[in-house]
Amino acid sequence: MNYSIALIPGDGIGPEVMGPAVEILDAAGTKAGHVFTYVELEAGGLSIDRSGVPLPDGVVEKVSQCDALLLGAVGGPRWEKLPGHLRPERALLGLRKGLGVFANLRPVSLLPQLRSACPLKDEVLAAGSPGGKAGFDLLIVRELTGGLYFGERGRSADGSLAFDTETYSRTEIERVLRTGYAAAAKRRKKLCMVDKSNVLESSRLWREVAEELAKEYPLIETSYMYVDNCAMQLVRSPGQFDVIVTSNLFGDILSDEASVLTGSIGMLPSASLGSLDAEGGKSIMGMYEPVHGSAPDIAGKDIANPLAAILSAAMMLRYSFGLEKEAALIGTAVSRVLDSGLRTADIAGKSGAGETVVGTRAMADAVLEAVKSAPWTEGEYHA
Ligand code: NAD
């Protein structure tokens, strides 16, 4: 198959980690008989320098004509003093809104190779996890284009009073829950809806919609949890969770909390998805990016971890193109490289002896080689 991919490498380490992600995608494509074509576009700081705005007219439209968007990261100290509407990060909001990607998916799992990077004890990791194994593998689905971040806000005339409002419609809640259910169906079939329905009216609507929708998904075990309890449970027994679905504000906070349990932000991919296709499987538009920012402190030094970007590309194969096996090919290649002891500086020293610290390029080359040399016949990866 042929797929067209909009590519925004962005600022700072963005181009350093996106270059390898593209090479690895191409290697997986060659192996599996797919052709990926890239439409390179500018947004963020680079675009401010070249055209004076963070998201030039026509970029959203050009992305919409592609099958998915891969983005590095935008921003940096050079543009920090600009007024809010001209800051590079404004491009992200414009892309999310313009593309209608309302569900942000962040998988958070503990890789056995990075066990010692997790501050939790074995007994905590084992509590509630499948088979009592010391680990976790969860997916946070955060509503991305509504709620407190987009509600009405303001100040009183004298500035001494401020307010922000949380507004959600049934449609907004239902569509993100459906994305959560579609993801849960491909995982361990558990969905936990997180809210604050003992206090907030908007949360009561979330709970109402979730209870109605749960009846449509009898094969998925649906549970409900207050957000304060969830914040505690994530560090008491993260293994109990499979898919967590929640609002924009709660998801922002919980996903950052969960990410700390994994070792380094340089390992974490993300997907922002729009409506699902008629079968409820693939996203009609998806934006894929590492969770980290442009990391200006390490840009240009060949020390950035490229794995979050590479794993984001694998998420694109899975969620936008439905290429599960090709996504697994990349995931397994990353795992094998970590097994071999290679580490970028951010994840070094976390598993003790037998590690070799390498730069961005060498880590990317190792994953590339692992993809190229993986046994793959007749569309199947044979481990
Ligand atoms: P950051 O994620 O860029 O960096 C935080 C810390 O993590 C830094 O010490 C950095 O060196 C380290 N780090 C990040 N990615 C890494 C990687 N792949 N490998 C190794 N270490 C890595 O967050 P920040 O410093 O708060 O923000 C820097 C800029 O990025 C700001 O302008 C911010 O607005 C922007 N930002 C953009 C996005 C995005 O484009 N999606 C997201 C977050 C921040």
For 208-259, the DSSP string reads: HHHHHHHTT-TTSEEEEEEHHHHHHHHHH-GGG-SEEEE-HHHHHHHHHHHH
Dump pLDDT digits (tens) for 113-135: 888 888 899 999 998 888 888 88
CA torsion 139-76-80-98 (nearest 10°) is -50
- The residue-averaged pLDDT of 185-199 equals 96
- Catalytic, 350? Answer no
Question: Which of the listed CATH numbers 3.30.70.260, 3.30.930.10, 3.40.718.10, 3.60.15.10 matches domain 1-118+268-383?
Answer: 3.40.718.10
Dump pLDDT digits (tens) for 124-171: 999 888 888 888 999 999 999 999 988 999 999 999 999 999 999 999
Q: Rounded CA gap, 250 and 254, in Å?
A: 6
- The residue-averaged pLDDT of 309-332 equals 95
- Domain spans in the chain, listed from the N-terminal domain onward: 1-118+268-383, 133-261
Is residue 191 predicted with pLDDT exceeding 80? yes
219 alpha-carbon distance from chain centroid: 25
Q: Rounded CA gap, 250 and 194, in Å?
A: 8
Q: How confident is the model at residue 327 (pLDDT cuts 50, 70, 90)?
A: very high
Dump pLDDT digits (tens) for 66-88: 999 999 999 999 999 998 889 99
Kindly list the protein residues whose Cβ atom lies closer than 6 A to any atom of ligand 1. Answer: 13, 17, 73-76, 89, 92, 265-266, 289, 292-298, 304-305, 308, 346
110, 118 contact by CB (below 8 A): yes
Q: Which residue has the tokens 């829950």?
A: 177
170: how many CB neighbours lie within 10 A of its CB? 12
Is residue 281 predicted with pLDDT exceeding 80? no
Q: How confident is the model at residue 375 (pLDDT cuts 50, 70, 90)?
A: confident
Is residue 317 predicted with pLDDT exceeding 90? yes
- Catalytic, 26? Answer no
288, 316 contact by CB (below 8 A): yes
56: how many CB neighbours lie within 10 A of its CB? 17
DSSP category for residue 300? T
Is residue 112 predicted with pLDDT exceeding 90? no
- Catalytic, 256? Answer yes
Dump pLDDT digits (tens) for 208-218: 999 999 999 99
Structure token pair of residue 50: 């070249």
User: How far away, in angstroms, is 292 Cα from ligand 1 center?
Assistant: 5
Nearest partner of 74 among 58, 95, 60, judged by Cα: 95
In one-letter notation, the amino acid at residue 151 is G
SS3 at position 342: strand
Q: Work out the mean pLDDT of the chain and round it to a whole number.
A: 93
Burial 117-140 (b: 16+ CB within 10 A, else e): bbebeeebbbbebeeeebbbbbbb
User: How far away, in angstroms, is 291 Cα from ligand 1 center?
Assistant: 8
pLDDT in the model for residue 383: 43
User: Check: CATH 3.40.718.10 for 133-261?
Assistant: yes
pLDDT in the model for residue 282: 67
1-118+268-383 and 133-261 share one CATH topology?
yes
SS3 at position 66: coil
pLDDT in the model for residue 264: 86
162-164 and 221-226 strand pairing: unpaired
Is residue 32 predicted with pLDDT exceeding 60? yes
Nearest partner of 36 among 7, 78, 76, 71, judged by Cα: 7
